[in-house]
Amino acid sequence: MTAIRLLLVDDDPLVRAGLSFMMGGADDIEIVGEAADGGEVEALVDRTRPDVVLMDIRMPTVDGLTATERLRARKDAPQVVVLTTFHADEQVLRALRAGAAGFVLKDTPPTEILAAVRRVAAGDPVLSPTVTRQLMRHAVGTAADTRRTRARARMAALNDREREVAVAVGRGLSNAEIATGLFMSVATVKTHVSRILAKLDLNNRVQIALLAYDAGLLEEEQEGH
C-alpha cells in the first residue's frame, strides 16, 4: 500500500513536533515536509508533492486561509485539512469555501486526526452534518442576501436531478444514503456529484453543501417536508 504523503504547516514548533511524532508512527502516512508559515507552502508542495496538507489557520506572515486559496487554485492541488482551535470560525468557513476538504480541532484525539487525514486522502470530506450546519449558521450575516442571490444564479446551471443530489449532499448524506433516498445507484450518484462539481467549478462536496445552503435550497427542502 502506498503511504499518504503529508505536509505539516504550523507556526508553533511544539505543535509541529507533536503532530510529526503522532503521524510518524502510522505505517500508512509519510511526513514529507514541515512549514512554519503559509508563505512556504507552495514551494514545499512543488518539492515534496504531498497528498494532504494539514494547515494551521493563524500564522503571522501568510495565514492558512491565503495559503489554502493559493493551493486550491492550482492544478492537481493536494487536499487541505484545516487545523483550528474553534468549532465555528469565519476563517474556517472561508477556508472551506476556498476548497479545504474539512477541518480538525487542535485538541482532537490523535486517532481522529489520523482518521481525518486518511479520509481526505481517500476523497471524503471531514465534516459531520452537525458541524456543517453549525458553520453555516455562523456564516449568516449582513452579506447573506447577496450570497443567496449569487448562489441561486450559480445553482441555475443544474438540472432538476443534479439539484436534488446537491441538496442531499448539503444535508450531509453519503452516496449510499443519497442513492437510497433518490432511487438511483451509487454509481449514478457519483456521476451526478462529478457533474455538479464540474458545472459549478467546485473542488469538493463541502463546497456543494455550502453553496446549496447559501442558495436557500436546504430551507426549501425542509419546508417541502
Tens-place pLDDT, residues 39-49: 999 999 999 99
- Residue 87: alpha-carbon gap to chain centroid: 14
Residue 67's pLDDT is 93
Q: What pLDDT band is residue 10 in, cutting at 50, 70 and 90? A: very high
Longest CA span, the chain: 51
116, 104 contact by CB (below 8 A): yes
- CATH 3.40.50.2300 residue ranges of the chain are 4-126, 136-215
- The stretch 194-218 carries a mean pLDDT of 88
Angle between helices 90-98 and 205-214 (to 10 degrees): 120
Give the tens place of pLDDT for each residue, 41-70.
Answer: 999 999 999 999 999 988 989 989 899 999
Give the tens place of pLDDT for each residue, 140-187.
Answer: 554 567 778 888 999 999 999 999 999 999 887 888 899 999 999 999
- pLDDT value at 131 more than 90: no
Q: What percent of the chain has pLDDT over 90?
A: 43
- The stretch 129-139 carries a mean pLDDT of 61
Residue 174's pLDDT is 83
Which candidate, 71, 64, 56, places its Cα nearest to that of 15? 56
Q: What pLDDT band is residue 210 in, cutting at 50, 70 and 90? A: confident
Q: What pLDDT band is residue 132 in, cutting at 50, 70 and 90? A: low
Q: Beta-strand (E) ranges in 89-140?
A: 102-105
Residue 87's pLDDT is 63
Architecture in CATH for domain 4-126: 3-Layer(aba) Sandwich (3.40)
Residue 135's pLDDT is 61
CA distance 206 to 166: 10
Q: Report the chain's mean pLDDT, rounded to a whole number.
A: 85
CA distance 21 to 82: 19
Residue 139's pLDDT is 58
CA distance 47 to 25: 23
Tell the burial category of 132 from Cβ atoms under 10 Å away from its Cβ (0-12, 13-18, 19+): buried
The top-level CATH class assigned to 136-215 is alpha beta
- pLDDT value at 216 more than 90: no
Site of grid cell 492558512: 64
